[in-house]
Every structure is written in structure tokens, then in C-alpha cells.
Amino acid sequence: MSKILEMINITKCFPGVMANDNVTLAVEAGEVHSLLGENGAGKSTLMNVLCGLYRPTFGSIRLDGEEVKFSSARDAMARGIGMVHQHFMLIPTMTVLDNCLIGAKDAGKFVLDRKTTAEKLTELIEKYDMKVDLNAKVGSLSVGQRQRVEIIKVLYRGARILILDEPTAVLTPQETLELFEMIRSLTEHNFTVLFISHKLNEVKEISDKVTVLRQGCVTGTYKTDDCSVEDLARLMVGREIDLSVKRAEREKGEILLDVKNLSLKNAEDQKRLLEDICFDVREGEILGVAGVDGNGQSELVECLTGMQVASSGEIVYKGQNLRKMKTREIMSNGISHIPQDRQKTGLIMPMTLVENFALQDYYREEFGKSVYLNWAAVTEHSKKLIKDFSIKTPSELELAQNLSGGNQQKVIIAREISRHPELLIAMHPTRGLDVGAIEYIHQQLVEQRNKGIGILLVSTELEEIMKLSDRIIVMYEGKIMGTVKPSDITIEEMGLMMGGQALESIRAKKAV
Amino acid sequence: MGVLNSISSYIATDIRMAAPILLAGLGLLLVNWSGLLYIGAEGTMLISAFAAVAGSFYLGSVWAGLLFGMIAGALFGLIFAFLTVTLRANQTVVGVALNVLGASLSATLNRVIFGVETTIAKIDTFETMAIPGLSKIPVIGPAFFNHMPIVYLAFLMVPLISFFLFRTQQGLNLRSVGENPRVSDTLGINVYRTRYTASILGNMIIGIGGAFLSTGLLNFFTEDMVSGRGYIALAAVIFGKYKPAGVMLAAMIFMAGNVVSNILQVSGAAIPYTFLTMIPYVLTIVALVVFASRAVAPNALGKPYKRG
């Protein structure tokens, strides 16, 4: 096989940071080549160099042995390199066809030739069996279908090398399988796929070769068949890591939070955002809420924390109904909340850590009386939390925005856990963090559970949910598809529930 | 026959009065579809109305006046694009500033050039151009085919701009920039250049509307003569759901209010004159209240774009 693409000694410096340090990557035609690395390892930078968005500080790129220089995404596209971005580059109000036509360059054509384009696209769709309606508005398509549109768009523009940037992040397990089939069918037709991911299992499954990046450097390129998942994890993180969690089995605790028939309607169009949600959280258990992003999880947490008032139903906690209570009342009742977006709703980025630590409890007597804040007490408290939770920061007066993502998340967790809650609501607590930080946060959550605290854990990472939860509920379009124990369920069944099938109907089908 | 003739003349008036609003609305449409929120149409129309009179006065031709009006509009478009696209200033604030600039600059230049006397400088103006044959059809002829050239131009631009926006590559690119500039950028479209072009061309068309006010509907310039038409155009765009035909319909409906008020004034109804002249504006407000929430604006409208 010939080398279709070589990136030789690529170095990319940003002010103060070396994002890529002497990276060399060789890709053969027709293979699936994974780029594995943690967040911030330099995967995206390298791909942005390849598709013309960045220019390398040093180094060269060779296509079919010929040296090339790209100054824009269009240059790279013209040479057959197409990128499918993690956040889809599609316009929801336009049709699939029009989305493929935006910016098309058919040699000076003024009037759109929708008919010819539609024929060409239909050919592509049939060849790779992609099942997309060209005249549908993109906004009406599912996430999986949108991704297919992105791939079609790139193919239509003549890509031979496809870069897929974290393509499975938004997909259900079934959609992921479909994507993998599509990738295989593409490589059979001699397309080359660069697959960027930090998910070890997927990399192991789909790729022929894998290049591991760590802190901007290549740790090596390996044949996937020669490496185990554990090997890959070690290569990616640079040390042995323990992917398992130690959990003590516990007696069934008392019911702490009892949610009954909770419903929420959108005020504008009366659309049901939550429908008849029923579940309970017990002392000393982690209840996982699984589901693809945007299926009512945010709304559920907002209702529980008083940021929205549910239209009907009850939220019973310690004998009180929380449904119409204000956030402050709920939070002062022994409930803590790790919000879904640490930078938008978890912290105030331009404030110091001391101020951020004080946000939740500034009104309590230990931190000040009447209008005065007792800065000495707050600072003392902050110093203690920074030490206890080993938060890496030059001082407690550092601004929150200057911390790394993992340390920002630790600040929130320290703040919320130090309030000694009885119920902890955690939403996407590890989103976008590196393996080390994830490990730490998982330990913290399990430790709290073992202490007898009830935890509601909302996450879109299926592995995380399966690993940590005592019980799991799966949400789809504002409804609960089933409540299960992780030991009683397969990943496949989870995937079907995340795609909108109720547990009973799945089991009933199996029985037949 | 008398009733039919009056109806015919009412329609003719409606069309004539709607033309400047239609032009301003179509210009705004181009600017808006590129994702720029421009509320300075009033200012553009004022400066163009003045420039058209000055051009016609100095060069002795109303067409030269029109050219002046278009250049003045284009300059406003350039200023707006520079401030909001290159410097990423707040689009609403710059729009307000250009309204103030248009009003005061046109008034100042008018006093400098024509003085404050009450006599009106004689200038060349647009004249009606009957379409041979068609204008002879009874009732329909005088209503639709006996107008000034700019009126025909305005209504001809409706299908043209519609075709451009929805049937051409450039139109699709323009709309994609208004919906999501980052998408356009990844597909090799120059977002900044697209927005500059839309702002300049759009304001040129708004300028034609302004020029027509002072050299077509009237034959002189007075301070604040646009009297809110720029804002009515803004409303027409929303009411017309960002589609050229919709804008045309809206302009016609709003100005029909004007015709109604004229009829009532002439018929000597016992309603004070000031209330009657309010009709088109009240109609605009009502239309906006009822329809504004249903309008589908381009997604990136009013949001500045920064590369990288």
C-alpha cells in the first residue's frame, strides 16, 4: 500500500503553548487511522493544520508523495481533504440539497442547478446506502442523519481523505454502529478515514492503525490488533490507570427524593418537555440518568433545582414538595448541584476562587453578618478546600478562568460537597475532562455514595453511567424508557432505549 | 364609471406611495439576509433624498440625481459595514447613529447649499411614463401602467431579488452567511466580503427609495421628509417574512392605510386630520404586534462574526 498522506515533523506554536511538537504521521490509502489522545493533546490542532485552517510553524505535508501547502480550508478541500466537524456545519432551516450546495464552485455558474446536483447526490446516497431525503429540512433530521448529511457533503465536494472529529460524541450506540458500517463501506471504496477520538473501545473497534498523541507529541503509531484497550489507555495517559471503581455493596437505603408524575410544558408552544417522570433516589445510591443529549435531562435538573417550575407533578424530599420552591430554599435544605456547564452556570469565570467558593453560602452566618462578608473566614474556607481537593492553582485569589477544565470542575465539586449535602445532583460532571480528572471525580462521587449520600448522576457517557450507577433510568424525548440495574442490562438494550424504545417492548420482542 | 375611476386612481396612488417603502424594504432584505441588523434605513433615505435633489440641481438631470442618491446610500452602507463587520460594533447602536447622521447631515447640507429661504430651487424630476397599449386599458391602465419609471423598477425588482436569493449560487451563499457564518466560512465563502457587499448594495437600493421621495413624489427636499418610511420599511420586512413578495404585499397594505386616510380627509369626515394621518403608522404597529412573533429571521441576524 502506498502512503497517501504524510505529515512530517509538524510543529505548531501558539503564544506560550506548543500545541504540536514535531509530530509525524503517515497514513496509507484505504485505511482507518485513528488519532487518539486526551483533550488538549493536540489532535484538533493537527487536524486543523491538515485541513488548512492553521499553518504549521515548522514541518511539511505530503499528499501522494508531493509536498503541498494549504492557506485555507478551500485549498485542502480542492486536494481532496474533507473534515466532518464535531459541531455540525449545517443550516437547519435549509434543505439537505441546499446545504450541500452552499459555497459550491461549479465554474462560474450563477443560477443554481439543483436538478443535476440532486442526481449526483442521489448516486452517492445509493452507492453508500445512506438513506437521506434530499428535500428534507436539516432541522427535521435526527443527529445521526445530520452526520450522514455532513459526510455526503464532504464526499460531494470530492474528498478522498475524510477527517471525522469525535464523530460518536453525539450518537446513540446504534447510530455509532451504523456510522462504523458506513466507514467500512467507504474504505472498501478506497477512501481514507482519519478518526479522531478519546474513546478507547471505539478506536480499538474501527481502526486499522492508531497514532497516540500526548501533550503535543506522538507516543507512537501502532497496529490496532497488537494493542489491548489497557495498552491504549496507558499510552494515552502516560501511566497505569485503574479503569475500575471500588464500590462497597450497600443495603437498600431510605427513599430520599421521590419524583411523582412530573411534567413540564413549553410555555410558548405547549410542547411537552417532560412527561410523567417518576423515579426515586435512595440514600447511599447513585441513580444514573442516561440518554442522548437534549432529551429532557436539563429540564429535569432545572425542575429539581428550582430553576424552572414543572407544570404538574410532585417532587417530594424530606416530606416537602419542592416543585414550587425557590432555588435558595432547595439548596439550603441539604441539596447540592453540580451544574452541566462549569463555565457558564457552575462558576463565574472572571471572579477569584475565593469569590466562587462563597457563591453558594455567602449568606450563612459563618461567612458574614448582615451586609458584611467575612473575607477572612471565606478565605480560610477556600484555602482548606483547595488543599483538601488538591486543586492546582497558584493561590486562592486566582481567577476561575485561569484554571484548567479539570481544576475548574474540582472547584465546583469542592464547593458542593463541602456543604455536606444529603442529595447531590450532578450533571455531566466529567464532560470534556482528561482521564486523570475523570478518575478523580468518579472516586469522589463513589466516596460520597459510600457515605450514604444519594446522588442523581446525569450523563451522556454510557460507560460512566454503567460503571457508577446502582440503578439507571433512560430518558428519551422527556419520557422515561425504563429503570434498570446495570448488571441486568446489555449495552445494546441501553442503546435501544436511548433511541426511544421502552424497556418492556424490547424485552417482549426478545421473548418472542 | 365614476366609482371605477376613483378605485383606479386609489390603486394608482397606493402603488406610487408604496414604491419607496418597497425599495427600502428590498434593500433591507439584502442587508438582513447577510446577517446584519440594519435599522438605519430612515437615515439612508434622508441622505439619499437630499443627494438626489442636489444632483438633479447641479447636473440638471433627475437621473444624475438618482445616481447621487445611490452613491450616498452606498456610502452609508460602507460606513455601516466598516463599523459593524470590521470593528464589530453593536449593529443597533450604529443603526441609530446613522439615522441621526442622515437626518442632521441632510438638514445641514440643505441649509448650506440651498439656504433657509422659502423659495424652492427648481429641479428636474421624474415624470410618468405610460406603457404604450397597456395604459389604454380602461380602469386597469391608469391604475397599473401609467407610473414613473422608478415605480416600475421597484416592482420589477421583486421577482429579480426573489430569484437572486432563492435560485442563484450567490443568493444561497448570502443566505448561508446570514444563517450561520461559521458554516459559510468552512465552505470557503468570504463572510466579511459578503456582508460588505450586501450592506453597500442594499443601502444603494434603499437610496433609490429615498431619491424617489424627493425627485418623484415631490420636487424638493425638506428636513425629515422621509417621516418614518424607513421604519415602516423595517416593519414591512418583518411582516413580509423576509421574502420579496411579502415585503411588496406589506408595503401595499401599509400604504393603503394612507389612501384610506386621504379618502376620509377629502370626504370631510368629522375626524381630526391628525388622527387620519396616523392610519398607516397604526396599521404598521398592529401588523407588527400580530405577525412579528411568527416571522422567521435569519439565524445570525445582529450577531457579529469573528474568524477563528
- What is the per-residue DSSP string for B241-303? TT-HHHHHHHHHHHHHHHHHHHHHHHTT-SS-HHHHHTHHHHHHHHHHHHHGGG----TTTT-
Position A455 confidence tier, pLDDT thresholds 50, 70, 90: very high
Chain B CB contacts of A109 under 8 Å are 169
Q: Is A109 in Cβ contact with B169 (below 8 Å)? A: yes
pLDDT at A241: 61
Q: What gap in Å lies between CA A138 and CA B179, rounded to an integer?
A: 13
Taking residues A49-67, report their average pLDDT.
89
CB A457 within 8 A of CB A289: yes
CB A348 within 8 A of CB A359: yes
Could you tell me which of A289, A247, A243 has the C-alpha nearest to residue A426? A289
Taking residues A288-295, report their average pLDDT.
88
pLDDT at A240: 66
Size of interface A-B (CB pairs under 8 A): 58
- Residue owning grid cell 466579511: B192
Chain A CB contacts of B183 under 8 Å are 89-91, 102
pLDDT of A183-207, one tens digit each?
999 999 999 999 998 888 889 999 9
Q: What gap in Å lies between CA A183 and CA A180, rounded to an integer?
A: 5
Q: What gap in Å lies between CA A113 and CA B245, rounded to an integer?
A: 23
Q: What gap in Å lies between CA B20 and CA B44, rounded to an integer?
A: 12
Amino acid identity at A110: F
Q: Is B189 in Cβ contact with A103 (below 8 Å)? A: yes
Position A472 confidence tier, pLDDT thresholds 50, 70, 90: very high
Please indicate if any CB of chain B lies within 8 Å of the CB of A512: no
Burial B110-129 (b: 16+ CB within 10 A, else e): beeebeeeeeeeebbbbeee
Q: Determine which helix (DSSP H) or strand (DSSP E) holds A165, and give its type and residue range.
A: strand A161-165
Q: Is B299 in Cβ contact with A94 (below 8 Å)? A: no
Position A17 confidence tier, pLDDT thresholds 50, 70, 90: confident
B165: CB partners within 8 A, 6+ apart: B29, B33, B171, B174, B175, B244
Q: What gap in Å lies between CA B44 and CA B30, rounded to an integer?
A: 15
Q: Is A85 in Cβ contact with B188 (below 8 Å)? A: no
Position B271 confidence tier, pLDDT thresholds 50, 70, 90: confident
As a three-state string, the secondary structure of B23-78 is HHHHHHHHHHHCCCCCCCHHHHHHHHHHHHHHHHHHHCCHHHHHHHHHHHHHHHHH
Tell me: pLDDT of B179 over 90: yes
Taking residues A303-312, report their average pLDDT.
92
Distances from the Cα of A155 to the Cα of A122, A125, A207, A410, B148, angstroms: 12, 10, 20, 43, 52
Burial of A135 (0-12, 13-18, 19+ CB in 10 A): exposed
pLDDT at B170: 93
Average pLDDT over all residues of chain A: 88
Distance to chain A for B248, nearest Cα, Å:
23
Chain B CB contacts of A98 under 8 Å are 172
Angle between helices B244-266 and B149-167 (to 10 degrees): 150
Position B200 confidence tier, pLDDT thresholds 50, 70, 90: very high
B220: CB partners within 8 A, 6+ apart: B53, B120, B121, B123, B214
The arrangement of strands across the sheet holding A312-317 comes to A272-282, A255-265, A312-317, A320-321
pLDDT at A106: 65
Taking residues A202-217, report their average pLDDT.
90
Q: By CA distance, what is A108's nearest residue in B?
A: B169
pLDDT at B180: 94
Q: Is B184 in Cβ contact with A103 (below 8 Å)? A: yes
More confident residue, A294 or A117: A117
pLDDT at B118: 67
Q: What gap in Å lies between CA B158 and CA B151, rounded to an integer?
A: 12
Tell me: pLDDT of B71 over 90: yes
pLDDT of B129-158, one tens digit each?
999 988 888 888 888 999 999 999 999 999
Position A487 confidence tier, pLDDT thresholds 50, 70, 90: confident
Q: Is A98 in Cβ contact with B172 (below 8 Å)? A: yes
Average pLDDT over all residues of chain B: 92
Which sequence spans correspond to the domains of chain B?
2-296
Tell me: pLDDT of B111 over 60: yes
Tell me: pLDDT of A268 over 80: no
| Degrees, nearest 5: CA angle A73-A77-A82 | 95
Position B1 confidence tier, pLDDT thresholds 50, 70, 90: low
ipTM: 0.87
Distance to chain A for B246, nearest Cα, Å:
18
Q: What gap in Å lies between CA A279 and CA A480, rounded to an integer?
A: 9
Domains parsed from chain A with CATH numbers: 3-237 (3.40.50.300), 244-334+421-512 (3.40.50.300), 341-420 (no CATH)
Position A394 confidence tier, pLDDT thresholds 50, 70, 90: confident
Taking residues B110-120, report their average pLDDT.
81
Numbered residues of chain B with Cβ closer than 8 Å to any chain A Cβ: 167-173, 175-176, 179-180, 182-189, 296, 299, 308
Q: What is the CATH number of domain B2-296?
A: 1.10.3470
Q: What gap in Å lies between CA A474 and CA B80, rounded to an integer?
A: 51
At residue A308, the 3 state secondary structure works out as coil
C-alpha cell of residue A296: 429532557
C-alpha cell of residue B125: 424630476
Q: Is A90 in Cβ contact with B183 (below 8 Å)? A: yes
Tell me: pLDDT of B10 over 80: yes
- In the stretch 75-114 of chain A, residues with CB closer than 8 A to chain B read 77, 83, 85, 89-91, 93-94, 98, 101-106, 109-112
pLDDT at A80: 92
Position A439 confidence tier, pLDDT thresholds 50, 70, 90: confident
Q: By CA distance, what is A94's nearest residue in B?
A: B176
Position B220 confidence tier, pLDDT thresholds 50, 70, 90: very high
Considering only CB atoms, A103 lies closest to which of B171, B179, B188, namely: B188
